[in-house]
């Protein structure tokens, strides 16, 4: 759905529900990273699954402190970012189906492409196709530290897989990769550093073991926004994959240097009782797999539930919102929310400044 | 902006679809639609397909072609209405009250070329409806939204309904068409407790109809919605003219236990990317491809496999008893979403398949039509 409000439109004139992105907050978040990594050897690799926007990714890269390339979750996302001119894309996921591998090899002829593996079967499939298409593909080993998704489960597995990759024609062994989230909600600084050092330490263990058998490990790509400052202090890590910090989410607010930049604005459409108001932001427009969103700047008002049509808002006292009033919801999982929308409406000081596509929305192939 | 699946031509084997892919099994879809519409074709009430569920004009046309349908569809927003109208649907009921002039101007424009009906529970908003449509020399039907569940919109008292009905009747550009309600959510309740709740709600709803009629007001329509789980119960209740339902055509996991007569007709085909543990497989179908806002998906036809966990980009399949999973890297797994409307809201394309062959490739044209 392509429906673009004119720049200069007041935010309170926008038809709702609408996803807006506060450009001051976005720029501030980008600047925190650019400053932190301005003179470090380790750099940030922006994860584009979070915002799915080449425009935002270029803002990140141009601000500095990044590896100059991006990280993607899917082949179709990587296609969007290669088309948008990024020279270097790491797909932090395993690619196993024949048509996707063909697309990957086509991309690898136009940009520096890397993928992750955790099984010999994937290595064989990739090598066979690289050989057939005369392409070269960078390969990293995914290390499981706590997610229990993909990733090798032991150091030995990592070493033997590294040997297989080195021996596989068409593939270039690049290093190790891992993704983690904090084990506890809202960790304090000490807890956060403990957890980050523990998980990243596991990745570095695999790196050392691979190096001990004489294989060069060029890249150690790990972490997320919550460990950006931890990884920077751990020798051996070469890059941090960061995505959440860009527009932020409520449960991440313990990372107080970053500011919530994306919000969904809705309108109250009905007030069926004294302490209940019904709003027009549906669950499809924001997504809430991790619990209901938070209502901005309305201390007494909470989201009671969300349906396919509506938000149900309750107030402890008399509901301050009336039919026609606006309300704003703050997401608890930003990338789920961004993936529901076709455009970012960029706002500054209450006025629309820029509208740009969520170009890789829906790229789950 | 637009997802980028590998183009698959009709006539291809469905095994060649790149994953994750949203597919509709047309044999099952047609069976569901024929069964439910067949029920209504033998009764005085009609079924108005809630097209918000699939957001796909081709599927709406397929539903409306079957006897037992009302003359049009239900949607939840003006932008969905615009998409369906521009794809040839000419009777559209918007099931959310619209309290803003900018949207009402769009309603007024649309109502010149398409029969549009609106709902209301608020006198000020009814005034706005009249103002907006008369400014464009048009008219719309308006139904009063009746509250039968605490977390839904709608009027709470007979007097309020009477006042609104008179107001709608008196204001230019508005035709009072009747009453409307959305029932309640499934909310994990048992079938029996839902039936009990719905019978009570129906009583309340129909009280409004009789009351308005005793006051000399013609109530042409009585439209009850959210009714996949109870379409027969509502549909044979005297006084009901219309049942609104969307999930009936697809049967998602949330409706399955309440709807023994329907078949699963829509699912996601996913691929196993990793086999990291004996009892666990990781697939390419995460929340962004299936949606878990209203519950976890289920593995089609395999009760021993659990898809309860999962994250944004990855799905997890665990064996229910911790035993060795009989899945290898590259294998395909079909997943039934908890809520099919959410799944349609994530994709731009849906494939119609029949007998394992891709029959149709359809655009989910109203995806993202939130405002």
The CATH code for residues B26-248 is 3.20.20.10
Residue B3 has a pLDDT of: 56
Among candidates B4, B96, B275 on the partner chain, residue whose Cβ is nearest the Cβ of A269: B96
User: DSSP alpha helices (H): ranges in B49-190?
Assistant: 57-64, 78-86, 101-110, 123-135, 158-170
Contact B153 A339 (CB under 8 A): no
Residue B292 sits at the chain A interface (C-beta within 8 Å): yes
Least confident of B23-27, B227-231, B282-286: B227-231
> What fold is seen in the domain A11-19+258-357?
Lyase, Ornithine Decarboxylase; Chain A, domain 1 (2.40.37)
Q: Which of residues 85-144 of A touch B (CB under 8 A)?
A: 93-97, 99-100, 103, 118-119, 121-122, 125, 144
In chain A, which stretches have pLDDT less than 50? none
Among candidates B96, B182, B329 on the partner chain, residue whose Cβ is nearest the Cβ of A121: B329
Residue to substitute from B97, B312, B364, interface A, most A β-carbons within 10 A: B312
Residues contacting B7, CB < 8 A, separation 6+ = none
Q: Which residue of A has its CA nearest to B156?
A: A272
Contact B152 A272 (CB under 8 A): yes
Contact A149 B311 (CB under 8 A): yes
Cα A224 from Cα A290, distance rounded (Å): 18
Cα B292 from Cα A193, distance rounded (Å): 31
A290 versus B354: which is more confidently predicted? B354
Tell me the per-residue pLDDT of B67-104, one tens digit each, with 9 for 90 and over. 999 999 999 999 999 999 999 999 999 999 999 999 99
Q: Which residue of B has its CA nearest to A291?
A: B293
CB A70 within 8 A of CB A78: no
CB A126 within 8 A of CB A164: no
Q: Which residues of B touch A54 (CB under 8 A)?
A: none
Task: Look up residue B228 and give its two tokens.
Answer: 């996949």
Determine phi and psi for A246, rounding to 5 degrees: -65, -45
Task: Look up residue B156 and give its two tokens.
Answer: 């709470």
pLDDT of B183 higher than 90: no
Taken in order A69, A73, A79, A83, is the CA torsion positive or negative?
negative
List the Cα angle B281/B316/A291 in 5-degree steps: 170
Q: Where are the domains of chain B?
A: 14-23+261-363, 26-248
Q: Which of residues 140-169 of B touch A (CB under 8 A)?
A: 145, 147, 150-154, 156
Residue B341 sits at the chain A interface (C-beta within 8 Å): yes
- B326's enclosing H/E stretch is none
CB B64 within 8 A of CB B89: yes
pLDDT of B30 higher than 50: yes
List the Cα angle A20/A356/A86 in 5-degree steps: 125
In DSSP terms, which residues pair with A35 in a beta bridge?
Answer: none
Q: Which of residues 116-135 of B touch A (CB under 8 A)?
A: 121-122, 124-125
CB B295 within 8 A of CB B338: yes
CB B48 within 8 A of CB B84: no
Residue B104 has a pLDDT of: 98
Task: Look up residue A84 and give its two tokens.
Answer: 């948008």
Q: How many CB atoms within 10 Å of residue A326?
A: 15
Residue B187 has a pLDDT of: 81
> What fold is seen in the domain B14-23+261-363?
Lyase, Ornithine Decarboxylase; Chain A, domain 1 (2.40.37)
Q: Which residues of B touch A276 (CB under 8 A)?
A: 150-151
Cα A57 from Cα B134, distance rounded (Å): 48
> Residue B5: which pLDDT band, with cuts at 50, 70 and 90?
low
Cα B333 from Cα B298, distance rounded (Å): 10
Q: Which residues of B touch A361 (CB under 8 A)?
A: 1-3, 368
CA-based nearest distance B130→chain A, Å: 16
CA-based nearest distance B184→chain A, Å: 10
Residue A270 sits at the chain B interface (C-beta within 8 Å): yes
Proportion of chain B above pLDDT 90, given as a percent: 92
Can you count the helices (H) and strands (E) in chain B? 11, 17
Residues in chain B: 371
Q: How many CB atoms within 10 Å of residue A291?
A: 11
> What fold is seen in the domain A37-247?
TIM Barrel (3.20.20)
Task: Look up residue B335 and give its two tokens.
Answer: 């997943």
CB A336 within 8 A of CB B287: yes
Residues in chain A: 365
Residue A224 sits at the chain B interface (C-beta within 8 Å): no
pLDDT of B190 higher than 80: yes
Among candidates B151, B154, B287 on the partner chain, residue whose Cβ is nearest the Cβ of A304: B151
List the Cα angle A325/A330/A333 in 5-degree steps: 145
Location of each CATH 3.20.20.10 domain in chain A: 37-247
CA-based nearest distance A100→chain B, Å: 8
């Amino acid at each position: 759905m392509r429906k673009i409000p004119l720049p200069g439109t007041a935010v309170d004139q926008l038809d709702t529900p609408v996803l807006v992105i506060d450009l001051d907050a976005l720029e501030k978040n980008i600047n925190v990273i650019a400053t932190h990594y301005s003179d470090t050897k380790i750099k940030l690799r922006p994860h584009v699954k979070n915002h799915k926007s080449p425009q935002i990714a270029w803002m990140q890269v141009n601000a500095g402190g990044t590896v100059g390339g991006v990280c993607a979750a899917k082949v179709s996302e990587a296609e969007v970012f290669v088309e948008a001119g990024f020279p270097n894309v790491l797909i932090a996921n395993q690619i196993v189906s024949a048509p996707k591998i063909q697309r990957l090899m086509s991309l690898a002829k136009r940009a520096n492409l890397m993928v992750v593996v955790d099984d010999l079967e994937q290595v064989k499939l990739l090598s066979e196709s690289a050989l057939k298409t005369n392409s070269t593909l960078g390969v990293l080993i995914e290390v499981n530290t706590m997610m229990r998704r993909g990733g090798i489960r032991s150091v030995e597995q990592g070493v033997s897989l590294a040997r297989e990759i080195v021996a596989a024609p068409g593939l270039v062994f690049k290093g190790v990769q891992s993704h983690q989230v904090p084990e506890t909600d809202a960790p304090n600084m000490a807890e956060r550093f403990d957890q980050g050092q523990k998980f990243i330490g596991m990745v570095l263990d695999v790196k050392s073991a691979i190096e001990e058998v004489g294989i060069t490990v060029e890249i150690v790509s790990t972490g997320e926004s919550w460990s950006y400052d931890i990884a920077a202090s751990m020798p051996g890590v070469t890059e941090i994959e960061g995505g959440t910090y860009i527009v932020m989410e409520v449960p991440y607010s313990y990372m107080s240097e970053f500011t919530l930049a994306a919000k969904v604005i809705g309108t109250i459409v009905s007030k069926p009782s004294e302490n209940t108001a019904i709003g027009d932001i549906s669950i499809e427009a924001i997504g809430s797999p991790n619990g209901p969103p938070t209502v901005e700047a309305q201390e007494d008002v909470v989201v009671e539930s969300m349906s396919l049509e509506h938000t149900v808002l309750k107030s402890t006292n008399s509901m301050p919102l009336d039919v026609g009033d606006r309300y704003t919801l703050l997401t608890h999982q930003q990338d789920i929310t961004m993936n529901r929308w076709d455009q970012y409406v960029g706002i500054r000081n209450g006025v629309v400044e820029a509208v740009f596509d969520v170009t890789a929305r829906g790229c789950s192939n | 902006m637009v997802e980028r699946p590998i183009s698959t031509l009709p006539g291809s084997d469905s095994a060649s679809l790149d994953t994750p892919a949203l597919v509709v099994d047309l044999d099952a879809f047609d069976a569901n639609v024929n069964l439910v519409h067949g029920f209504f074709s033998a009764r005085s009430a009609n079924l108005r397909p809630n097209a918000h569920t699939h957001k796909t004009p081709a599927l709406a046309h397929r539903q409306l072609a079957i006897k037992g349908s009302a003359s049009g569809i239900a949607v939840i927003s003006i932008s969905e209405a615009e998409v369906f109208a521009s794809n040839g649907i000419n009777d559209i009921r918007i099931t959310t009250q619209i309290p803003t002039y900018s949207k009402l101007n769009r309603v007024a424009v649309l109502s010149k070329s398409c029969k549009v009906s609106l709902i209301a529970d608020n006198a000020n908003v009814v005034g706005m409806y009249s103002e907006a449509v008369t400014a464009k020399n048009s008219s719309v039907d308006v139904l009063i939204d009746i509250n039968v569940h605490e977390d839904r919109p709608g009027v709470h008292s007979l007097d309020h309904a009477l006042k609104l009905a008179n107001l709608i009747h008196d204001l230019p550009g508005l035709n009072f068409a009747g009453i409307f309600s959305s029932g309640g959510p499934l909310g994990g309740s048992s079938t029996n407790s839902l039936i009990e709740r719905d019978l009570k709600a129906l009583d309340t709803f129909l009280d409004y109809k009789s009351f308005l009629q005793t006051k000399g007001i013609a109530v042409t329509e009585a439209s009850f919605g959210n009714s996949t789980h109870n379409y027969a119960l509502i549909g044979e209740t005297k006084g009901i003219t219309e049942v609104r339902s969307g999930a009936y055509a697809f049967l998602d996991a949330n409706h399955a236990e309440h709807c023994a007569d329907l078949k699963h007709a829509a699912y996601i085909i996913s691929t196993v990317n990793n086999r990291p543990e004996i009892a666990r497989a990781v697939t390419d179908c995460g929340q962004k491809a299936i949606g878990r806002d209203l519950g976890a998906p289920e593995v089609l036809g395999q009760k021993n496999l659990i898809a309860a966990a999962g994250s944004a980009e990855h799905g997890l399949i665990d064996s229910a008893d911790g035993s060795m999973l009989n899945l290898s890297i590259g294998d395909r797994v079909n997943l039934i979403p908890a809520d099919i409307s959410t799944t349609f809201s994530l994709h731009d394309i849906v494939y119609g398949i029949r007998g394992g062959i891709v029959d149709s490739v359809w655009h989910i044209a109203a995806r993202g039509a939130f405002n």
